[in-house]
Structures are given as structure tokens and as C-alpha cells.
Amino acid sequence: MLKNSLILILILGFAAIMLSLFLSYTPSEDLKGVSKHYAEYGKEEVGAANLVSAVVVTYRGFDTLGEVTILFLTASVIGFFLKVNHSKDDENTAVKKYSEILGTSAKILIPLMVLLGVYVFINGHLTPGGGFQGGAIIASAFVLMFIALPQRKISHKVLSAVESFSGLSYVLIGVLGIILAAGFLDNQILSLGTFGSVLSAGAIPLIYILIGLKVGTELTGIISNLKELQNEQ
């Protein structure tokens, strides 16, 4: 197979490039560059115990806005790509029955999962986690619901309203940063509060809540779209 051997050669060539990268890596002992600054001044400047969150939401908040946008964009694209006809949902009830055990446990688990998600994003600035993680957990709750309780429906209107609301609020908070504080997405529009408490780190918890809601609804939306497309077939 000429083609396969060609691919093999290419892979080997590419591996050689990767190898040269790998070989150039030497484990470093200390922080350097910008992260040193983050480590040293993060506490005072941002007030978030979770430095990763400080970087994600504040120092590189603009990236995060982009991230949110990507998810939103993906959800929108998938939305019109699949062109799911939501109005037909009600008639289309040829739903498979799932096992009783799954259904019952889902009913217990789903609220717990949502709660966990909320916890994760509310405490994003303090503990490992944050808006994305929390949102993902919430979305997985809904995935479980789709699997275990297929007859339950989620209103797309509500989903997109929440999505839009949280996105818009995020942008508004960013703009407020220009008006009230030092720059776009500055977290100091709210006071930094006591280091380590829930209501600290300025706007980070607020932003994380919005992100959490947004990610949760978006992922849910994508999955429900996919599911409905499958139902149509």
C-alpha cells in the first residue's frame, strides 16, 4: 500500500518534529515570566484563592469571553445546522422506555448533580472548579435526564433565554469594567472582599455564575438538539 507507507513516513517525520520539541524540554524549578507575577501578586490584585480562576476570569478574562463565545457559537451553528423543528416535539412521542432502575436513580441523581454543578461554579474562585466545570456538570445532569427520562422535555425557549441573558450580562459586566473600574472585564467593579470567602474576588463569582449557567444551557441545548434530530429519523 503506497498510500499507507506514505502516511507512515509522514507520521514518522512528524514524530521527529515532536521529538525535537520533547527533547528541548527541561523541567524547570521555578516559576518565571508572567506566572511568577500571578503567583506573587494574584492575591492582592484579584483576591481569588484559586489562582487559576484569577487567571481565567481576570488576567486572561478576554480569552474566557472568547471561550464562552465559542460554545455559544457552536450551539448556534448546530442549532441552525440541524434545523430541528421544535414545534413538532409534542406529537413526536414515540419514545423508548428505559429501565426502571435508571429512571428512578436518575430522579434522585439529577437534582443532586445540578446542585453539585451550582456549588462548583459558585466556589470557582476558591476551590478547583469554576463556571465551565460547573456548567458541564449541570449539562451532564440533563444528559442523564435525556437518557433515563426521555419523555421529559426541556423548553428551548427557556434554554436560549438563559443562555442569552447570561451572555449579555457577561458582556455588560465587561463593559461596566471600563466604566466603573480600570478596564474591560476588570473584576474590581465589586469590592474584592475578604480573601477566601465566597463573596470575594470582585466580580469573579458573578462571572462564574453566568458562565456556569451559560455553559450548562448551551451544552444541554446542543445535546437536546442532537437527540431530537435522532428522534426525527
Partner 1 sequence: MEKIGIEQISLAFGFIILMLGLWGILSRKNIIKIVLSFTLFDTGLNIIIVAIGYLKNKTAPILDSAELQTDTASKIVDPLPQALVLTSIVIGLGVTSLLLVYALKLYKEKKSLFINDYKDLKW
Partner 2 sequence: MVNPIYIVAVLLGVAFTSGFFSKKGKNIAGYLSMLALGFVSFVSLQWLHGFLSEQQAAAQIFTTAFKPPFSINLLMGKEEAVFTSLINIMGLIGGLYLFRKLKETGSNAFIALLLLIMGLNVIVMTRDLFNLFVFMEISSIAIAGLIILSQNVKSISSGFKYMLAGGLISGMLLLGTVFLYYFTGTLNIDGMLQQNLNLVKGSSVAVFLVITAIVLELKPFPANGWGVDVYEGADAGISALISSAYATASVYVFMKLIPVASEQFQFLIAAIGIITFVASNLMGLRQSNPNRLLGYSSISQIGLLMAIIGLSSVIGESTNFIVISILVSHYFAKAGLFWISGIIKTNSIRDWSVLRHSKILLVSFGIFIFALVGLPPFPSFFGKWELIMNLSGSHNFIWVTAILVGSFLEAAYMFRWLGYAIKLELPSEIKPVIKLNKIIPVILFAASVITAGYFTGMNHEYGKLINYIPLAFALAFVLIEFLPVFIKNTLAIAGLALYFYLNYQSYTDISRIFAAIFLLGGILTLLAGYAYKGKRLGFFPFALMMFAGLIGLIEAKSTLEFFYAWELMTIGSYFLIIRGKKSITHALSYMLFSIGGAYLIMAGLGIASIGKADLTLSILHQVTEYAPLVFILLAVGFMTKTASIGLHIWLPGAHAEAEADVSPMVSAILLKAGVFGLLILLMAMGEQFIGKVSIPYLLSWVGALTALMGNMMAAFQEDAKKLLAYSSIGALGYAVFGLSLMSHLGWLTAISFSITHFMLKALLFLAIGGVVWRLKTKDMYKMGGLIKRMPFSFFSVLIGIIVLAGVPPLTGFSGKWLFYQAVMEKQWFLQGAVLFFSGIIAFLYCFRLIHAIFLGQLKDEHRNVKEAPFWILVPQYILLAVLLGFSFLPGSMLKPIGNMLLPFLPDGAIHWNGQLATTVYGYWNGKTVMIIIVGIFSVVFGWLWFMNRKARKIKQFNIVYAAERPFRPETTHFAYNFFAPYKKAIGFLVAPGITNFWNRIDEGAHAVSDKFTKLYNGNGQTYLIHIVAFIVVIYLISFGGF
Binding-site ranges for partner 1 (CB under 8 A): 4, 7, 10-11, 14-15, 18-19, 21-22, 25, 27-31, 34-36, 38-40, 42-43, 49-52, 54-56, 59-60, 63-64, 66-67, 70-71, 73-74, 77-78, 81-82, 126-128, 130, 132, 195-196, 222, 226, 229, 233
Q: Say whether residue 21 binds partner 2 (CB under 8 A).
A: yes
Distance CA 167, CA 58 (A): 17
Cell reading at 196: 477566601
Instruction: Give whichever of 133 and 187 is closer to partner 2, judged by the CB atom.
Output: 187
Instruction: Give whichever of 82 and 171 is closer to partner 1, judged by the CB atom.
Output: 82
* DSSP characters over 53-86: HIIIIIITHHHHHHHHHHHHHHHHHHHHHHT--G
Which residue has cell 478576554? 62
- State whether the Cα torsion 77-131-32-44 is positive or negative: positive
Cell reading at 108: 434522585
115 binds, among partner 2, partner 1, none (CB under 5 to 8 A by kind): none
Cell reading at 132: 465551565
98 binds, among partner 2, partner 1, none (CB under 5 to 8 A by kind): none
Which residue has cell 523541567? 27
**Residues 164-203 interacting with partner 2 (rule: CB under 8 A):** 164, 167-168, 170-172, 174-175, 177-178, 181-188
Instruction: Give whichever of 148 and 207 is closer to partner 2, judged by the CB atom.
Output: 207
Greatest extent of the chain over all pairs of C-alpha atoms, in Å: 66
Identify the residue among 7, 8, 39, 198 touching partner 2 (CB under 8 A): 7
Query: C-alpha distances in angstroms, 177 versus 104, 185, 186, 202, 209?
Result: 46, 5, 5, 11, 17
Applying CB under 8 A, the residues found at the interface with partner 2 are 6-7, 10-11, 13-14, 16-17, 19-21, 23-25, 32-38, 45, 58-63, 65-67, 69-70, 72-74, 76-77, 79-81, 83, 157, 160-161, 163-164, 167-168, 170-172, 174-175, 177-178, 181-188
